[in-house]
Amino acid sequence: MTRPTPPGYFRELARAVREAFGLLERPAISDAEVVRILDEISRRGLLAGGRSEPPRCSGWRAVARPVRSRQSASPSATARSVSTIHGQVSVPSRPKRIVAANFPEACTLLDLGITPVGRPAYMPSFAKYTRALGGVPMVTDSAGQLLLERVASLAPDLIVTADWADPKMRQVPYDKLRAIAPTAVFTREQAAGNWRDQATATAGAVNQADALAALRRKYLDRAAEIRRTHARLLAETRWDIVDASQNVWDLYSSTSSHGGVLT
């Protein structure tokens, strides 16, 4: 005989999930939404290996895992197709909850006036970005490794990130990410040398290509103004860009993100 779910079970489970992910102080989604999701999963028999009774676990520390990729579902009438390193991917036409797991993609979103619901641990130390990302949960650790449970807890409708073009070098767990939400993975290069391409791809994924084109024109106009104003100084100066910490240092070439701006 099926045992009924105890009163308040899903609300307790929702709180346990938040506590496990460290989201009690600043929840990414409401308790009501978490309860609704967990209730739906339970009614489909997906919690506790398909049992019809609540799972027994210490402190209600149960986590519901996605069981099928949203990308495998039939695309809606508002879906769009974008080009990624994994081929064409169907994404929402107007995504509302975007996780950016790599800094060039996160920077592009912020430049477009879009604040992601999840961000990478590393971001350039620009005041505008720091202010905009205040309180936004990090979805990578300090080494850049994805925190998949954190990503899932944010209930994104789109994930954007980047990985190496060479399949042997890839690090992003694409299949696990696309089981959470439609995932667009773009090509990354050493020292973010292709940041312009990443910006273009990200803007396309969020249906903001025209807005990015306007920003690009503004950027190029400003660069031209600087060249005119400081023509003599620029002609007489040669640059080396060195980034150093206690144990390592990096010399940025003209193909890096930094060098590309100066050249």
Q: What is the DSSP track for 115-165?
A: --SBB-S-----HHHHHHTTTPPB-B-TT--B-HHHHHHT--SEEEEEEES
To the nearest 10 degrees (0 to 180), the angle between helices 9-21 and 31-43 is: 110
Q: How confident is the model at residue 13 (pLDDT cuts 50, 70, 90)?
A: low
Confidence of residue 206 (pLDDT cuts 50, 70, 90): very high
Q: What domains does the chain contain, in order, with CATH numbers?
A: 9-60 (no CATH), 70-213 (3.40.50.1980), 232-263 (no CATH)
Q: Which of the four pLDDT bands, split at 50, 70 and 90, describes residue 185?
A: very high
- Angle, vertex CA 36, rays to CA 33 and CA 42, nearest 5: 140
Over the stretch 162-176, which tens digit does the pLDDT of each residue have? 999 999 999 999 999
Q: pLDDT-based confidence at 5, cuts 50/70/90? A: low
**What is the average per-residue pLDDT within 21-49?**
51
pLDDT digits (tens, 9 = 90+) for 75-133: 444 899 999 999 999 999 999 999 999 999 999 999 999 999 999 999 999 999 999 99
Give the pLDDT score at 235. 92
**Residue 70: what pLDDT?**
44
DSSP H helices in the chain: 9-21, 31-43, 103-111, 127-132, 148-153, 174-178, 195-205, 209-229, 231-236, 257-262
Q: Which residues pair with 27 in a beta bridge?
A: none
Rounded mean pLDDT of the chain?
Answer: 81
- What single-letter amino acid sits at 1? M
Q: Which two tokens stand for residue 74?
A: 């039939």
DSSP 190: G
Query: Which neighbouring-strand residues pair with 90?
Result: 81
Alpha carbons 20 and 29: distance in angstroms, whole number? 15
Query: Please, which pLDDT band fits residue 153 given cuts at 50, 70 and 90?
Result: very high
Per-residue model confidence (pLDDT) at position 63: 38
Nearest alpha carbon to residue 212 among 235, 195, 225: 195
What integer pLDDT is reported at residue 126 of this predicted model? 92
Distance of alpha carbon 85 from the chain centroid: 16
Say if residue 215's pLDDT is above 70: yes
> For residues 22 and 217, which has the higher predicted lDDT (pLDDT)?
217
